[in-house]
Chains A and B, each alone.
Chain A
Amino acid sequence: SAVISQKPSRDICQRGTSLTIQCQVDSQVTMMFWYRQQPGQSLTLIATANQGSEATYESGFVIDKFPISRPNLTFSTLTVSNMSPEDSSIYLCSVVPGLSSTEAFFGQGTRLTVV
Chain B
Amino acid sequence: AQKVTQAQTEISVVEKEDVTLDCVYETRDTTYYLFWYKQPPSGELVFLIRRNSFDEQNEISGRYSWNFQKSTSSFNFTITASQVVDSAVYFCALSEGHKLTFGTGTQLKVEL
Contact = CB atoms under 8 A, between A and B. Distances in A.
Contact of B91 (A43, A48, A90, A107): A43
Nearest to A94: B100
B50 A48 contact: no
B44 A33 contact: no
Looking at chain A's contact residues, the main secondary structure is strand
Interface residues of A, number: 22
B100 A104 contact: yes
B102 A43 contact: yes
Interface of B: 33, 35, 37, 42-45, 47, 50, 52, 91, 95, 98-105
Interface centre among B37, B42, B100, B105 (most CB of A within 10 A): B100
B104 A105 contact: no
Interface centre among A94, A104, A107 (most CB of B within 10 A): A104
Contacts of B102: 42-44
A102 B45 contact: no
Contact of B95 (A41, A92, A102): A102
